[in-house]
A and B are shown apart, each in its own frame.
Chain A
Amino acid sequence: MTQSPMTQSPMTQRALIIDDSKAMRSILRRIVAGLGFETAEAAHGREALDHLEAATATGRVPHLCLIDWNMPVMDGYTFITEVRRRPEWRHVTLMMVTTESEQGQIVRALAAGAHEYVIKPFTPDAIVEKLELLGLVGKGVLA
């Protein structure tokens, strides 16, 4: 797990990027860091859960998780299910970013507790617009 070198301020929102592809993590990191998020990364769901546990202990739970579906050790769907079992993590916004594009899979992810869903491949604007939609950046519909 790596921590971005960004300066930390109490108002900064935190994003955890969960993907087994280092290149994909790098792409997503650039986008959300560009939006002012402080970023951390995990290569699979288990590592991400460990990050959440550690972050809970220090009061620095991420506001947003960007989650790949297919990963070794623990996949993104299982990760979402695990996060949603924990009431103290109910405020974490969960967004799937995956090549899984069957509608049945999207329904499954939403039913398990994902807020949003982006299908790979995506343009940077797509991520920005989804985060606007969720009210995490800019003035989204919920702002």
Chain B
Amino acid sequence: MAPASFQLIAALVLRETSIVYEPRKEYLVEARLHPLAAQAGCADIDAYVRLVTSDPAERRKAVDALTINETSWFRDNAPYQAFTDTMLPELLDRRADRRHLSIWSAACSSGQEAYSIAMLLDQHLPAGWTADILATDVSTAMLARVEAGRYSQVEMNRGLPATHLVKYFTRVGAEFEIVPTLRRMVRTRHLNLAERFPAVGQYDVVLLRNVLIYFDQPTKHSILRRMHEHVTPGGYLLLGSSETTLDLPPDLNAMWEREQIGRVQAHRPAGGGAVPRPAAPPLSAALTGARP
């Protein structure tokens, strides 16, 4: 597709959804718009982009196609690297008395986020430590998928290092099933973020990624306000990469401190006594299992 077409589409998606399409993602834009272009009888993607600029209904379809929430393992990588290299060493220090970590994957979808964290904990949690992961979603169908822990071949390809596929899954017919040790680490619960949270407790790390974008501004603020009491002092709240630039009202700004960890911006409860981090050797080399 022509660079001008890509820029136009990227700007449109950014304006309507806050989702960023980086320049090297041209191919993905093309792949996702191609069926729509064919359906609309356009000769090529550039012609379709011209149609999108003049036809609001087609614009809606294009934006929907480009914002399909496809879940990957270790989605975006950077948050998982920040978890392993920075958050985990600090939390191991802070929680040394109880030797237990609690993680909450809010809006867990089909469970790739929760199980990706479970894999990292399996690799990096010292002996004698335990961890539990709460996975919540508004969709009971999604929760059933997390509980089943079964994934199709196509899903297995999405960002999961081959070494992890071999180590953490067993083949069941045409699907792959998560091993019981990781399955036991994850519990599920139905939860609608827009409503009052039931008694879900406190978590050392809350992953609330790529979900706030679907709510209007007052609901976003309400969720961030209510989330505050569910993050332990010194704990972390992780939002999606396009969600960290949210303009917050003064009371929320006072509630959360922002901390830059590599390419990730974490939110931490204000006054949580974040300690200066020791320079720890990076643990993420083992993350991918990829050899240099």
A contacts, CB < 8 Å to B: 30-31, 34-36, 101-103, 106-107, 109-110, 114-119, 121-126, 128-130, 132-135, 137-142
B171 touches A103 (CB 8 A): yes
Q: Flag if B159 contacts A121 (CB, 8 Å).
A: no
- Across chains A and B, the number of contacting residue pairs, with CB separation under 8 Å, is 95
Known: A35-B24, A128-B28, A139-B263. A123 touches B157 (CB 8 A): yes
Inter-subunit contact B159/A133 (CB<8 Å): yes
Q: Which of B239-292 contact A (CB under 8 A)?
A: 263, 284-285, 287-288, 290-292
* Known contacts A110-B166, A133-B290, A140 near B27 by CB under 8 Å: no
What is the bound-complex CA distance between A117 and B159, given in angstroms? 11
**B70 near A: Cβ within 8 Å?**
yes
Q: For A117, what are the chain B residues with a Cβ–Cβ distance below 8 Å?
A: 162, 165
Closest residue of chain B to A120 (Cβ to Cβ) is: B153
Task: Count residues of B near A (Cβ-Cβ below 8 Å).
Answer: 37
- 12 residue pairs of the A-B complex, CB under 8 angstroms, read A106-B165, A109-B162, A116-B290, A119-B156, A121-B153, A122-B157, A123-B158, A124-B31, A125-B70, A129-B72, A134-B290, A140-B288
Q: Kindly name the residue among A30, A117, A125, A134 whose own CB sees the greatest number of chain B CB atoms within 10 A.
A: A125
A124 near B27 (CB under 8 angstroms)? yes
B78 interface contact, C-beta 8 A: yes
Assess whether B159 is in contact with A141, with CB atoms less than 8 Å apart. Answer: no
